[in-house]
Amino acid sequence: MPIATELTRMLGIKYPIVQGGMQWVGTPPLAAAVALSGACGMLTALTQPSPDALREAIRETRRRIGGSKGRFGVNITLLPSINPPDYAGYARAALEEGVDIFETAGNNPKPLIEFIKSFKPAGLSESDAVPKRFIIHKCVTVKHALSGQKMGVDVLSIDGFECAGHPGEDDIGGLVLLARAADELSIPYIASGGFADGKGLAAALSLGAAGVNMGTRFMCTVESPIHQKIKEKIVQSTEKDTIHIFRTLRNTARVYRNAVSTEVVRLERRPGGAKFEELRELVSGARGKKVYETGDSDAGIWSAGIAVGLINDIPTCHDLVRKIDGDASNIIKRMNSFVDNGNESASVRAKL
């Protein structure tokens, strides 16, 4: 039987696994495949050039899912920007298309959370109840998780130092961060950063999480939209093949260690450091997109967590999710055998 948690019951999914929202990767082919596997797929809003493009991506994902009960949501990451994207427009498009699962991350999400929770589709009267929406908010500290809890999110995604992308500036690993979350939070949370297999899922559950969020692991699946050469590069990699950039700018990001990211760090470590303007061309999103399109792992910056060290194959999402759940179930059963339940074995009694 699949592992059932508060997360699976809340979202109506079969397995306690959520696909991370990843720029250029969280597209309909992957989100639909994850949804069909019984986990929760995730479209990345800002991968789409406009709210209308997101609307079409949602429709395409539904077409791929067909008549199954597969579940997916939309990730909206709030970025520091002089000219911010139309976040409300993306949220409105998703809501009007009937999406009821959202993942938020980044800068203060309160206005967006309030908009998502209160939005009424056309056709509902003032007396009609607002449809239920589930918001998963990603945090890198317990302090921010507590703030998200006060804002009314339904699930928190606790992102440890091991994660791809932005781990914050406190450098707290998942082992301690997740245990602290169990002590402080009163709503469900999932574990993010460094999770790629059944051992990780079992560990996350033991630390109080209701499931796991996986990004890098889902990049390396048959249905992932990135180039086959990048998937093979991930398989060949170890946990030492990532690097932090933007440390000196207090905007740390974990990315794959390649020629470009190594050059960024070199420039940052010069006497006097480096300003973002000096790094802009190296770290541009257009160059990062080329990595996934061309298979040239040195074409630009691309995100990868240290979970690359745990990835040794390129399975379908269907096979991956079932293996993770099955392996975690077996580990939990084995761990149960460690508990004596008050019945000492004959060998133990003989020694007393």
Give per-residue pLDDT as tens, 201-239.
Answer: 999 999 999 999 999 999 999 999 999 999 999 999 999
Spatial contact of 335 and 203, defined as CB atoms under 8 Å apart: no
CATH number for the domain spanning 185: value is: 3.20.20.70
In one letter, which amino acid is 269?
A: R
* pLDDT score, position 346: 46
Q: Are residues 182 and 78 in the same domain?
A: yes
Residue 331: how many CB atoms within 10 A of its CB?
A: 17
Q: Same domain, yes or no, for 144 and 261?
A: no
Residue 133 shares a structural domain with residue 264: no
Domain count, the chain: 2
| pLDDT band (50, 70, 90) for residue 112 | very high
Question: What confidence tens digit (pLDDT) does each residue in 295-339 have?
Answer: 999 999 999 999 999 999 999 999 999 999 999 999 999 998 898
Same domain, 146 and 287: no
**Is 119 part of any domain?**
yes
Residue 197 falls inside a structural domain = yes
Instruction: Give a yes or no: residue 345 inside a domain.
Output: no
The pLDDT value given to residue 1: 86
Residue 348, in any domain of the structure:
no
Please check whether residue 26 is in contact with residue 42, taking contact to mean a CB–CB distance below 8 angstroms: yes
- Residue 37 CA to residue 42 CA, distance in Å, equals 13
Asked if 61 and 152 sit in the same domain, the reply is: yes
Establish if 350 belongs to a structural domain.
no
Residue type, 127: S
Shared domain for 140 and 287, answered yes or no, is: no
Whether 137 and 192 map to the same domain: the answer is yes
Rounded mean pLDDT of 152-158? 97
Q: Which domain holds residue 266?
A: 242-294
276 lies in the same domain as 321: no
Beta strands (DSSP E) in 161-317 are 189-192, 212-214, 242-245, 253-256
Which residue's entry shows tokens 């990595």? 291
Residue 352 is assigned to a structural domain of this protein: no
Helix (H) or strand (E) holding 298: none
Question: Is the model's pTM score more than 0.85?
Answer: yes
Question: Does residue 114 share a domain with residue 155?
Answer: yes
What does the pLDDT read at residue 82? 74
Give domain status of residue 30, yes or no: yes
> Are 174 and 254 within one domain?
no
How much is the pLDDT for 124? 80
Q: What secondary structure letter does DSSP report for 212?
A: E
The whole-angstrom separation of Cα 32 and Cα 51 is 19
Could you tell me if 252 and 168 are in contact, meaning their C-beta atoms sit under 8 angstroms apart? yes
pLDDT of residue 343: 61
| 66 lies in some domain | yes
Shared domain for 190 and 265, answered yes or no, is no
Same domain as 277, residue 212 = no
pLDDT at residue 352 greater than cutoff 50? no
